[in-house]
Amino acid sequence: MQKSTFKKPKLSIKNIGQLRFWLGIFVGLVTAVIISYAFNYFREIGRFFSILQGDILIFTQSNRLFYNRFFAFFGSVLGLSIAIWFWMNTQLPQKRSRYIHLITARTNVLFVFWFYLYVIAKFSSGLPPLFYRANTYNTLNLSTALPYLFYLLIAVIFLQNWLYVQRIFNIWKWMFFSGIIVAILGFGLPYVTNVNLKQIEDSFYKEYESVFVYIDKSIIQAKYDYGVKFKPKTLKTLKQFSGSDVENQLYAIKNAFKNDKPVSLDTILIAKINFHIFKNGNGINSFSFMQNKKLYPELIYKQIKKHPVNSPETKALFELLKDMIDVTNLNADNINRSENDFLTWRRAKMKRYLSHRFFNQLERVRNELIEDKKYQKYTKELSEIGEKTPKQDYFGFMRQSGN
């Protein structure tokens, strides 16, 4: 059998053409910057979906660094695709097979560019609304769950860029130096294409400032009045308004109060915070109040009976009960969103979602506690229960039917 004597020439600037070489470098660099910046920018648009849910997705320093670097590396390897495409638009003489390989190399790098750009763009734009709507976005942390998968993707794209070029030229030095350049851009571009994350966060906190002020004051009060310090995860969940962690906390509170055992002081204080802001797991902008997560007055009453009269738990339970009564005295018709803080307006708005069952239990529990003289020092702080307006009667009746 006759052996092939074909020897691949080395790829050089002379083969490419000096003007085409530098043009490829320039266009590739511009492409890398644009893609890196665009994905960082659209990441912030993705976080906007969480604000529509009445919550905000906060990235830790490690999360931000990871995504900034990934988008920088991703932009760099796609910039390399465009550079190679420019370089391969050159004339190669003689052999038809080499010409076919050249056409294939051009087509391949364009396919790599558009295919992976589509995949990452589709993945990035499709997941946020899906997970935000499902209230599970705070558990989706790909940067810690699958970090190596992202960088493996970068390596695959890099190698695919040179896949058909190596059939025409000897390119090992080009692969080596282009790899170094991609690495430099990957670590350097985050400082150029970084997007200000504080702008959207500051807008969110300003809009719901009254809610966060109340949560912070309640945490400080729990520490100084009761000596209770919450765990870091609990503090984080208290300042979230949707997601699986919030759902789990609300269900845990409801189950703890339904249990025959006395509820711990920290659980009572967490319940008081959650009820005061009417947290329901659907975001702070949501005005639904699901019955399976609602804390009813009769559960408060049973827990009061299980604790000593002068215990801090009893004091905290009466504060929670007082907060429930205070809500019934708010009038949404007299509270304007533009003239009052968000929390006051929200509490007045949520009054209509309290069912007949809730009002009837609240009135019965209040009367029974007032009749019990040993709770006199607490019951003197309990005001009269507000009247149910016809509009509230209507909503209460509709919601009560499921109870």
User: What mean pLDDT do residues 281-285 have?
Assistant: 62
23: number of CA atoms within 13 Å, CB side? 11
C-alpha closest to that of 32 among 197, 192, 152, 163: 192
Report the range out of 186-200, 211-225, 233-247 with the highest average pLDDT.
211-225
What pLDDT digit, counting tens, does each position of 191-206 carry?
888 777 777 777 777 7
C-alpha closest to that of 128 among 52, 198, 75: 52
| High-pLDDT (> 90) share of the chain, % | 17
| High-pLDDT (> 70) share of the chain, % | 79
Q: Output the six-digit token pair for 237.
A: 């969940």
Write down the pLDDT at residue 74: 94
Q: Any idea what DSSP says for residue 228?
A: -
Amino acid at 12: S
What pLDDT digit, counting tens, does each position of 379-395 carry?
888 888 776 654 444 33
Mapped onto helix, strand or coil, the DSSP state of residue 46 is: helix
Amino acid at 127: L
Q: Are 55 and 242 in contact (CB under 8 A)?
A: yes
What pLDDT digit, counting tens, does each position of 48-66 carry?
766 666 667 777 777 788 8
pLDDT category of residue 135 using cuts at 50, 70 and 90:
very low
Q: Output the six-digit token pair for 239.
A: 């300042």
Write down the pLDDT at residue 373: 87
What pLDDT digit, counting tens, does each position of 70-101 carry?
999 999 999 999 999 988 887 655 555 667 77
C-alpha closest to that of 11 among 162, 119, 209: 162
305: number of CA atoms within 13 Å, CB side? 12
Q: Output the six-digit token pair for 43.
A: 């990441």
Which residues, at least 6 apart from 264, have a Cβ–Cβ distance to it below 8 Å? 256, 313
Write down the pLDDT at residue 79: 95
CA angle 49, 52, 57 (to 5 degrees): 55
Report the range out of 141-150, 212-221, 293-302, 343-352 with the highest average pLDDT.
212-221
pTM of the model: 0.68
Q: Are 9 and 164 in contact (CB under 8 A)?
A: no
Write down the pLDDT at residue 12: 83
Q: Output the six-digit token pair for 45.
A: 């648009």
Q: Say how far apart CA 294 and CA 355 lie, in whole Å.
A: 10
C-alpha closest to that of 278 among 199, 186, 349, 184: 349
